[in-house]
Structures are given as C-alpha cells and as structure tokens.
C-alpha cells in the first residue's frame, strides 16, 4: 500500500485506519482490511500508562515503528512525531522524520496549525510525506485546558478551517481532524483535495481512525463518547473486532450520530 493508493481510495470508499504499536497486531490488521496503520504517540497512555502523550520519546516512536513495519511490511504506516521532537525548528523535524522513516514509516504526523506551516513545507520539499493534525491536538492538552471538543464557536471553527486549508497548501498529504463538530469536519472535507481522517469528527470525513485499545474496550475509566466498542454482538476474537471495524467504516455504519459532536 502506497500513499498514492491511499489517496485514490477517497474517490471510491472510506479509508480505514487504526493505531498500532507492535508486530502481532500489525500482522492482524494487514489481514483485516485496515488501509493504514498509525504508530501513534497514544502508546504513551495505553501502552506505557502515562496520563498524557507528552512523555513519549522519539526513541519510543522509532522502536514501535520498527515493530509495526516488521509485522506488516506491505501496509501503509505513518508515525507520530512525539512532543519536543519537531517544534524547535524545521531542521529538527527533518532529523526526527528521517529517523522514523528509516525505521519503516512512509509518512509522519505532526500536530498544530499556523505554527507548523513552515515545517510542513520544509518536510514536503525534502520528500517527507506529512499528515497534519488539527482540532483537538493531544500534545497541547495543557494549553487547551483538557481533552475538549474544538471548533464549537464560529471563530474557532473558522480558525480550524483556515489551518486545514493552509496546511494543505503548505504540502500536507493528509490531515487528521480530531474532536470537532461533524458539520465543520464535513465542510473541511469538501474543501480539501487531500484525505481527511476523522476521530470524533463525524461520518463525512474521507476516512476514520480510532485508538486500537479503545475500540477493543481496553480503556481506563470512561471512553471518549466518539468511541465504539467493537468487541460485542457475537464478536469472539480480536481479529473479528478489527474486521468489524473495517467493515463498518467501509460501509459508513461507523461513526453513527452518537459518535459525533
């Protein structure tokens, strides 16, 4: 699976994506119609037990990216640039991105809007495919005052929309829209040529992503309202749950109204 193939899916069917952190799950996802595997810094919370994604290091991301790439060598893999590994300068972002791609990633993901335009452009000009990420950006959890829905006011919605447009113009190849109103996500998806991947952003994005552990019901406390537990209704294995997720995204049965804002 290549970036060009991922982008071509937009004209035909929704893109399926899940977070993945190890070789065994990667191999299972490769068998289960998951188009793209995101080595997410969410591993800091679900895998390492931290309260946020902030403690995750570049070394952590390199290690887990290598694990996933060995388990699913033919899958499309994108990896998060962790907090502190790209914000200082475009040159720092390039060095960190090169390390992730050497480990097996075909794309890197970074969070942020206007402040990241120069970095996105710098990476794109040097052959690094970039997935942008706007809306709720978990690495900014303290600045945002918690894990809150973004884009609820007219001003905030316009800011997010303009960020998405600017990131595409800067050279982003894909964009994640997290925890924003479904109407805003639909508007952004209509305006952008690059694929939009929603997580808590309603049904009208070009694709969907969830944290693997969340969709398997392996969460601490209450899950986000946009999460659905796919280990239910006669599902008797993890692989069946992943296949059910892929099927429901492809047929637009997920997300439903209750999973949107």
178 given a catalytic annotation = yes
Q: How far apart are the C-alpha atoms of 98 and 46, rounded to whole Å? A: 26
The answer, yes or no, to whether the previous bond of 255 is cis (omega within 30 of 0) is: yes
- Residue closest to 175 by CA, chosen among 151, 153, 155, 191: 191
Catalytic residue among 111, 163, 168, 178: 178
3-class SS at 80?
Answer: strand
The contacts of residue 61 (CB under 8 Å, 6+ apart) are: 39, 41, 79, 80, 81, 82, 85, 100
Pairing of strands 207-210, 15-19: parallel
**How far from each other are the two terminal CA atoms of the chain, in whole angstroms?**
32
Q: How far apart are the C-alpha atoms of 182 and 151, rounded to whole Å? A: 10
- Whether the CB-CB separation of 170 and 159 falls below 8 Å is answered with no
Active site residues: 178
């Amino acid at each position: 699976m290549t970036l060009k193939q991922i982008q071509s899916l937009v004209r035909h069917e929704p893109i399926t994506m899940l977070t993945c952190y190890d070789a065994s799950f990667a191999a299972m996802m490769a068998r289960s119609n998951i188009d793209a595997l995101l080595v997410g810094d969410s591993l800091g919370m679900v895998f390492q037990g931290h309260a946020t994604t902030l403690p995750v290091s570049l070394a952590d991301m390199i290690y887990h990216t290598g694990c996933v790439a060995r388990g699913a060598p033919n899958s499309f893999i994108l990896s998060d640039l962790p907090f502190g590994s790209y914000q200082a300068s475009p040159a720092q972002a390039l060095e960190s991105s090169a390390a992730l791609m050497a480990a097996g990633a075909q794309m890197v993901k970074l969070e942020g809007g206007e402040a990241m335009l120069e970095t996105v452009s710098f990476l794109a000009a040097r052959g690094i495919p970039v997935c942008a990420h706007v809306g709720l950006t978990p690495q900014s959890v303290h600045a945002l005052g918690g894990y809150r829905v973004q884009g609820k006011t007219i001003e905030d919605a316009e800011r997010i929309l303009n960020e998405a447009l600017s990131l595409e113009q800067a050279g982003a190849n894909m964009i994640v829209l997290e925890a924003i109103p479904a109407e805003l996500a639909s508007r952004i998806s209509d305006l952008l040529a690059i694929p939009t991947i929603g997580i808590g952003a309603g049904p009208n994005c070009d694709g969907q992503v969830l944290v693997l552990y969340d969709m398997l019901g392996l969460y601490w406390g209450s899950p986000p309202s946009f999460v659905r537990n796919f280990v239910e209704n006669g599902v008797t294995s993890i692989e069946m749950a992943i296949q059910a997720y892929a099927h429901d995204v492809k047929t637009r049965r997920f997300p439903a109204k209750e999973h949107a804002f």
